[in-house]
Chains A and B, each alone.
Chain A
Amino acid sequence: MSEPVLHISGVTMRFGGLRALGDFNLSMVPGELVGMIGPNGAGKTTAFNAVTGVYTPTEGEVRVAGERVNGLRPHEICTRGVARTFQNIRLFKQLSALDNVRVACHAGAKSGFVDSLFLTRHHRSEEQRILERAEKYLGVMGLSPRRDEIARNLPYGEQRRLEIARALATGPKVLCLDEPAAGMNAAEKTELMALIRSIRDRFGVAILLIEHDMRVAMGVSERMIVLDHGVTIAQGKPEAIRKDPKVIEAYLGDAYLEERHIAVPVGPGSGASR
């Protein structure tokens, strides 16, 4: 039983009077594939933001490889092993695909302004290392032919893959993907699912995935967690989640359940999987 690479306990996010996320708990071991689903506004991206340091948890604790990271800045959490993509793609739009990834390759290295300005040997070897590393990750995501293309000009699907390549290049222990399949067609989604699994197999990263497409989410995840209005309403294997009445109600509503004479669940405490 390996040490959890990511351990989130009791995290609550409050913004003024609004509680966007309540008592969020999640523990992931290396190489695990966990999917997070829920209707819009459920708090999924908020959870991501709390984990990656964009927000500081109002309550609760986030631990990366055993180390508590509450309150650290995003770049510090990144160097401790958590990388992410964004729901609305946030590439460095006017930089080339290669440069996008190269920025991530430098993650955490001590800023070597002196090296760069005086063209030291360290600088040149570092530049070479970064170039090779960036090209490798571009290759992993099948983007090598697009190396010098400006990110803005890439087709949407390739932009999403570039974002993943960039996140991978930081060498994370945990990769957080925010709706990676959004905007893709069925074939691309199947490819993506295979890609995600191969990334896990090749790099051993734990992957936390937010997805709206059920096929992708359930097809890739080994475990799932369902949020609604900031609250975790279910956790467990995809097959169990699929049948969980609380989940069905959250997505489809009471009427659907009533029509099929399924008992409407009462409160978050009851229910099959917990």
Chain B
Amino acid sequence: MAFARGVLRSVLPFLVGIPLLLALQTFLDSQGIDYWTIILISIGINVILAVSLNVVNGFTGQFSLGHAGFMAVGGYTTAKVALAFANGAHGLTQQAAFGGALLCGMAAAALAGLVVGLPSLRLRGDYLAIVTLGFGMIIVSIVENVDALGKAIGLSGLPGLTNVTWTGVGAIATVVMARRLAVSTQGRALFAIREDEVAAEAMGVDTTGYKVRAFVISAAFAGLAGGLIVHLLQLATPRSFNFIRSFEVVVMVVLGGLGSITGSVLAAIILTVALEALREFQQYRMVVYALLLIALMLTRPQGLFGTRELWDLPLVRRLPWMRNRAAAGPAGAPPTEVRGETDSGGET
């Protein structure tokens, strides 16, 4: 019985979320509102991207610039599997096949995360940025040269299976993942690594192991986003996964606050909506992002939320099901906050 209760607690967010999403989707479909559907899906995908990147860049304080690379791995894997199994199927079988394809994409992306992370996470943070950026570009380079992946033209003919429900489930899963991680022992270890890696190591935290695991999880969810994107566009092309994509996700995470899940979600929403609203100024979008990034670092490096979360607000903490939680506490400060001097001091 306790086991059943445990399972229930674990899947509760989905039990609540899925019916709501289905209802929302039916409503939108019935009204024939394509526009809002696309916006909501875009928001959902960006939430997945921002929150998953936050696990590495925010929680652990490492700096990955290659999120798009993992999206690509996930996206192309999902596409291949879907083309094989979901194209001919219908109804629930097709949906199940799609789910399976997405999981395959996540697994492939996770594996890529392992391969990239293991050698590079042993080293100083600055190098990680370069290595991950390079990885992202190599993936694109490889895809453009492999026939089976459609080269530069890409893979077409994908079923348009991404909808509000699937995207919503993905977003819920990502946020739940991040939240559970943040309040757990593992999350605390990640924060400790961010605060002071040497001290964390001295206290028994396998810093490399944890960094790699955070990286793998982050990559898996990037893969999920990739899989959803290719089935939205009904096309898998290298152009969807270039370094510009990586940069956009970084802007979202930094804007929201490195280390704040709430911040990432909000920044994803804000930037997606702003992008839509300001369509005529598309040309300037990257320049604006760049200026935004520089301005943020110079004036408010903690972004919108720093590391604060919605659920840390006193009001929220008084809600009945929140009261018994072990003191989660503020999760430290974002790695871009001004910290006291940690000079190494003299020898004795």
> Taking beta carbons and an 8 Å cutoff, which residues of A are in contact with B?
20, 38, 40-46, 52, 54, 73-76, 78-79, 83-84, 86-88, 90-96, 98-99, 102-104, 106-109, 111-113, 116-121, 123, 126-128, 130-131, 147-148, 150, 152, 166-167, 170, 178-179, 210, 212
CB contact under 8 A between A179 and B348, given known A75-B207, A96-B330, A166-B203: yes
Q: B180 and A84: CB pair below 8 A?
A: no
| A residues less than 8 Å from B329 (CB atoms) | 95-96, 98-99, 148
| A residues less than 8 Å from B192 (CB atoms) | 92, 95, 103
Q: Which of A45, A111, A210 contacts B210 (CB 8 A)?
A: A111
Q: Which of B187, B209, B330 contacts A150 (CB 8 A)?
A: B330
Q: B204 and A79: CB pair below 8 A?
A: yes
Q: Which of B185, B187, B339 contacts A93 (CB 8 A)?
A: B339
Q: Which of B6, B191, B340 contacts A119 (CB 8 A)?
A: B6
* 3 A-B pairs with the lowest CB-CB distances in the bound complex, closest first: A107-B204, A116-B184, A94-B332
Taken together as a complex, chains A and B put the C-alpha atoms of A41 and B346 apart, in Å, by 7
CB contact under 8 A between A104 and B204, given known A121-B3, A210-B348: yes
Q: B347 and A46: CB pair below 8 A?
A: yes
B334's nearest neighbour on chain A, judged by CB, is A94
Taken together as a complex, chains A and B put the C-alpha atoms of A44 and B196 apart, in Å, by 22
B129 close to chain A: CB less than 8 A? no
Taken together as a complex, chains A and B put the C-alpha atoms of A131 and B199 apart, in Å, by 20
Q: Which of B184, B187, B199 contacts A92 (CB 8 A)?
A: B199
Q: A86 and B199: CB pair below 8 A?
A: yes
| A residues less than 8 Å from B185 (CB atoms) | 102, 106, 109, 112, 116, 126-127, 130
Q: Which of B177, B195, B203, B217 contacts A107 (CB 8 A)?
A: B203
Taken together as a complex, chains A and B put the C-alpha atoms of A102 and B203 apart, in Å, by 10
Q: A103 and B198: CB pair below 8 A?
A: no
Taken together as a complex, chains A and B put the C-alpha atoms of A118 and B340 apart, in Å, by 37
CB contact under 8 A between A92 and B348, given known A99-B188, A103-B188: no
> Taking beta carbons and an 8 Å cutoff, which residues of B are in contact with A?
2-3, 6, 9-10, 177, 180-181, 184-189, 191-192, 195-196, 198-207, 209-210, 213, 217, 307, 326-327, 329-333, 337, 339-340, 342-348
CB contact under 8 A between A75 and B177, given known A96-B329, A111-B213: no
Taken together as a complex, chains A and B put the C-alpha atoms of A147 and B344 apart, in Å, by 27
Apart from A78-B202, A94-B332, A126-B185, 9 more pairs, CB < 8 Å: A20-B347, A45-B347, A93-B339, A107-B204, A120-B6, A121-B2, A121-B3, A127-B326, A130-B185
| Shortest CB distance B198–A (Å) | 7
Taken together as a complex, chains A and B put the C-alpha atoms of A98 and B329 apart, in Å, by 9
Q: Which of B2, B203, B340 contacts A103 (CB 8 A)?
A: B203
Q: A94 and B333: CB pair below 8 A?
A: yes
Q: Which of A91, A98, A106, A150 contacts B189 (CB 8 A)?
A: A106
| B residues less than 8 Å from A79 (CB atoms) | 204
- A44, A45, A54, A95 — most chain B CB neighbours (10 Å): A95
Identify 18 residue pairs between A and B in the complex whose beta-carbon atoms are under 8 Å apart, listed by A's number.
A38-B348, A74-B198, A74-B202, A79-B204, A86-B202, A90-B198, A90-B202, A95-B332, A96-B327, A99-B329, A103-B188, A106-B185, A108-B204, A111-B210, A116-B185, A117-B181, A119-B6, A120-B10
| B residues less than 8 Å from A170 (CB atoms) | 203-204
A107's nearest neighbour on chain B, judged by CB, is B204
